[in-house]
């Protein structure tokens, strides 16, 4: 039998294998996504970084360690118009009680050091209001990530996060 006469069979086999591989990749990806979501929702000790505002996918939360300046923290997001109350977020502690937060044009500063830029609307066109400025009061923190679309203390809807909203320090595990 010549290779030419197997042409139709070869095409069918290649299409079958391609479909099988694609379906396998979709299944594996779905299982990983569901596993990360379950870890995030059911366990207060892990948070998944689904929006990639920080490097890595999964962070372990040490609930016995209060984060300090520049450490990554797991937080429960305060009540806001865009996310469920208490949704788990990962943020960097940028300002601590006693620090001075200022804003010049669209940039927020903590103790004179530029931290992040503020936008006037979300990626979907919803309005955003710049967050608070002044001296951070006791029990409050300025939290952020460097990602341009991060939803954090630079916006009034989140504002300074209270210590009751901080779950603990976060350590990247994957």
What pLDDT score does 13 carry?
66
What pLDDT score does 118 carry?
96
Tokens of 16: 């079958």
32 and 52 housed in the same domain: no
What pLDDT score does 88 carry?
87
Does residue 10 surpass a pLDDT of 80? no
CATH number of the CATH domain containing 123: 2.10.109.10
Model confidence pLDDT, tens digit, residues 77-136:
888 888 888 888 899 999 999 999 999 999 999 999 999 999 999 888 999 999 999 999
pLDDT class for 57, splitting at 50, 70, 90?
confident
CA distances from 26 to 17, 22, 32, 171 (A): 14, 6, 10, 28
CA distances from 61 to 47, 68, 112 (A): 7, 14, 30
What pLDDT score does 135 carry?
98
What pLDDT score does 102 carry?
98
Tokens of 83: 């996310």
Which position has the higher pLDDT, 44 or 30? 30
Name the pTM for this structure: 0.72
18 and 60 housed in the same domain: no
Place of tokens 């951070």: 136
Rounded to whole angstroms, the Cα distance separating 100 from 114 reads: 12
Answer for the pair 121, 166: CB distance below 8 angstroms, yes or no: no
57 and 141 housed in the same domain: yes
Rounded to whole angstroms, the Cα distance separating 87 from 75 reads: 8
77 and 18 housed in the same domain: no
102 and 84 housed in the same domain: yes
Question: Length of the chain, please?
Answer: 174
Domain span holding position 12: 3-42
- As a whole number, the mean pLDDT across the chain is 83
120 and 64 housed in the same domain: yes
Tokens of 100: 């001075």
3-state secondary structure of 23: helix
Helix, strand, coil percentages, rounded to 5, for the chain = 25, 30, 45
What pLDDT score does 136 carry?
98
For residue 154, the number of C-alpha atoms closer than 13 Å in the C-beta half-sphere is 29
57 and 38 housed in the same domain: no
51 and 65 housed in the same domain: yes
Rounded to whole angstroms, the Cα distance separating 17 from 160 reads: 53
What pLDDT score does 128 carry?
93
51 and 34 housed in the same domain: no
112 and 132 housed in the same domain: yes
25 and 108 housed in the same domain: no
59 and 141 housed in the same domain: yes
Q: How many independent structural domains does the chain possess? A: 2
What pLDDT score does 15 carry?
65
Of all residues in the chain, the percent with pLDDT exceeding 70 is: 74
């Amino acid at each position: 039998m010549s290779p030419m006469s197997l042409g139709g069979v070869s095409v069918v086999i290649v299409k079958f294998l391609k479909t099988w591989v694609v379906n396998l990749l979709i299944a594996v990806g779905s299982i990983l996504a569901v596993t990360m979501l379950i870890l995030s929702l059911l366990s207060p000790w892990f948070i998944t970084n689904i929006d990639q505002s920080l490097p890595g996918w999964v962070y372990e939360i040490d609930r016995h360690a209060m984060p300090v300046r520049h450490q990554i923290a797991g937080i429960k997001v305060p009540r806001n118009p865009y996310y469920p109350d208490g949704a788990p977020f990962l943020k960097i502690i940028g300002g601590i009680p006693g620090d001075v937060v200022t804003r010049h044009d669209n940039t927020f500063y903590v103790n004179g050091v530029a931290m992040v830029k503020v936008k006037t609307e979300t990626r979907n066109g919803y309005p955003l209001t710049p967050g608070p400025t002044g001296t951070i009061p006791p029990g409050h923190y300025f939290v952020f990530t460097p990602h341009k679309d991060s939803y954090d203390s630079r916006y009034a809807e989140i504002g300074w996060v209270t210590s009751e909203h901080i779950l603990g320090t976060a350590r990247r595990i994957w």
